[in-house]
């Protein structure tokens, strides 16, 4: 899975939790999703990776030519 798709999934999970879907119950089973703080942290990390990739890792190259 590429990073952009992963970021979209993270944003969807964050959105669902922010709307109140952190925990729910089906019959006798209780389901709890990931902690919001962990998802925020992963989103920041992934966004930074995408920025780095788009800017070639933040590397700048300068060429000086004497003529």
Q: Which tokens hold the place of 13?
A: 């999970």
Per-residue confidence (pLDDT) for residue 8, from 0 to 100 = 94
The label of the residue with tokens 């942290």 reads 41
Judged against a pLDDT cut of 70, whether residue 7 lies above it is answered with: yes
User: Buried (b) or exposed (e) across 22-45, using 16+ Cβ within 10 A?
Assistant: eeeeeeeeeeeeeeeeebeebbee
Higher pLDDT, 44 or 60: 44
pLDDT in tens, 12-25: 988 988 888 777 77
Per-residue confidence (pLDDT) for residue 42, from 0 to 100 = 94
pLDDT in tens, 23-54: 777 889 888 878 889 999 999 999 999 888 88
Distance CA 10, CA 46 (A): 10
């Amino acid at each position: 899975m590429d990073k952009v798709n992963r970021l979209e999934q993270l944003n969807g999970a964050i959105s669902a939790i922010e709307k109140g879907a952190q925990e729910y119950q089906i019959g006798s089973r209780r389901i709890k999703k990931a902690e919001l703080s962990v998802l925020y942290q992963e989103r920041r990390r992934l966004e930074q990776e995408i920025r780095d990739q788009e800017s070639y890792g933040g590397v700048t190259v300068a060429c000086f030519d004497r003529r």
